[in-house]
Amino acid sequence: MISLIKHKFPIYLLSTYFLFFSSIVIGQSYIDYRSPFHPTSGQSGMVVSQNKLSSDLGIEILNKGGNAVDAAVAVGFSLAITLPRAGNLGGGGFMLVYIKEKNEIFYIDYRSQSPLNADLTQLFGDKLPKDLEYKDFDVVREGYKASAVPGTVAGLLDAHTNFGKLPLDEILEPVIKQAREGIRVTYDLSKAIESTSQLANDSESKRIYFKNNAPLKEGSLMERPDLANTIQKISEEGKSGFYNGDIAKAFIKAMESNGGFFTLDDFKNYKANISSPIVASYRDHLVFTAGPPSGGGVTLLTALNILSIFDFKEFESNSSKVYHLMAEALRRGHNNRSHQIGDPNFYDVPIEKLLSKERTIELMESFKADKATPSSKIKPLKILNESKDTTHYSIIDSDGNAVSNTYTLGYSFGSGVTIPGTGILMNNQMNNFAYRYGDKNIKGRAASPGNRFELGKRPMSTMAPVMVFNKDFELTLITGSPGGSYIPAAILRVVSGVIDFDLDIGQATMLPRIHKDWPYTGLDYEEQLSYDTVKILQSLGHKPETNKTMGSTQSIHIKNGINYGYSDLRRPGAGVSIQTN
């Protein structure tokens, strides 16, 4: 945890200004809005997630007297029902928890973990790492061998044990009801099922998500009795009900029948890690995010360290100059995560050096304000010795406690495997290790020393839940995003929009986004970016390539005592819910 200096300030209520026009008809008025992207405001609790039903359920917990952590537990379990392609009990993630009374921030790493019974020979046969081809990795993309030991239940329940208020059974009661009664399948969910081939290859997943050999149709009722029973058992027995009881035994039975690796020892030995987040200063703000095994946090903070050198006051938020600087900062951030980031229990991650002033200066040696830098000029830190279908939610309660949580199954619907009798979809996080460690022909992350495959290890991730505090050490922004390697770019755009350009959270969220990785040469951009800007970036030496939408930030901006929530429009079904009392 990290302790912050306490300050107390009066709360100022924002005024809404109306323009009144006199005419024969008295009382006519209108509001000339600055932007079409309107945040939802409130002065009490707020939940922002990628599914409105789950956001509403989180508010139900706050209305019962629960705090932000209680609501986060309920939302985390609920999203396994409402957003099964990403919300999960069979995956893992990272969480930041801010406790206002203590003025402390905690980081919970509940990333999925490699089984102790797996090894390279069982995965890839006798092939050497350097000889592995793309098709060889299918074994860690789909099916029973693709899954790492799930950490979501441990992470959510450890957060509740340490920071929650309500009894666990009271928190999970409405979630169990939601699973039993079912939800109506949305167009988005139906199309997601249709486009996910691995679901149809698993008999249990096919039983749940298909009917008459066709994906569940929009408007149909999807009931989840098996998942309801699983959550019921967890509500009664807590963490041991998942990791030591009948649920764990169901996992092992399914694994043994299908060539998977899990043993009871994998479940009994799994632990979520609670520590301090990493932090950087950016224009009189403190930006906290997830440390290793997150590489996304390092990417984001590296980019902010570089951008802090430049004065953005003379630029517009959509200027080509801003996009160029962000592109060059992001690719250096991705360089920083590509070699030395891994599970800190297995690798001595040089986090202080990666985020140091000296490293920033080193990265700036090849930086040009008017020209794209060749990848070969950006050197990794020398030391002696990713899927888009994640989801994020942000929560604040009436007392100012807050949660920023990002978790994932990996691919959409993970490995496609559902453990029979449990309703739990499994992750494919075994896909995220650097299996070609030591291959000198590879410059990128596929050969990362820090992320090499080892038994019992947690793979690197780009997930990066974020909290931002102002110069008075007051919480001002909670955000995060899915999007695989696009996550740092999506968050950077929002943080910069709020801090650099004083935009409201709706405007900052809907700014067009760009992404530039390392060592790749292309610059991905959303098609909303203006043609003129694209041409200017091209003239600077970038190689612009249109891409689909990047990320789906779920954010809360706290300003003058009022919470402003905004769900990214890039993915359907998301929503902000507020306490009205």
**Count of residues for the chain?**
581
Q: Which of 90, 461, 49 is nearest to 289 (CA)?
A: 461
Strands 522-526 and 543-547: parallel
Q: What is the rounded distance in angstroms from the CA atom of residue 522 to the CA atom of residue 159?
A: 40
- Residues designated as active site: 390
Beta strand extents in 303-401 (DSSP E only): 390-396
List helix spans (H) across 49-167.
Answer: 52-63, 68-82, 120-124, 152-163
Q: What contacts 487, CB < 8 A, 6 or more positions away?
A: 296, 390, 406, 462, 463, 464, 480, 481, 551
Q: Which of 343, 396, 279, 430 is nearest to 41 (CA)?
A: 396
Q: Which of 92, 132, 128, 130 is nearest to 113 (CA)?
A: 92
Q: What is the rounded distance in angstroms from the CA atom of residue 373 to the CA atom of residue 1?
A: 38
Phi, psi of 281 (to 5 degrees): -95, 135
- Supply the angle between the helices 225-237 and 168-181 in degrees, to the nearest 10: 170
Phi, psi of 418 (to 5 degrees): -110, 130
Buried b (16+ CB within 10 A) or exposed e, 569-579: ebbebbbbbbb
Tokens in use for 401? 């406690």
Inter-CA distances, 413 with 80, 112, 175, 453, Å: 10, 15, 20, 23
Q: What contacts 69, CB < 8 A, 6 or more positions away?
A: 97, 159, 160, 163, 164, 165, 401, 403
Q: Which of 74, 171, 90, 48 is nearest to 558 (CA)?
A: 48
Q: What contacts 291, CB < 8 A, 6 or more positions away?
A: 107, 275, 276, 277, 278, 297, 298, 344, 349, 351
Tokens in use for 202? 């698993």
Q: What is the rounded distance in angstroms from the CA atom of residue 39 to the CA atom of residue 498?
A: 13
Strands 390-396 and 285-289: unpaired
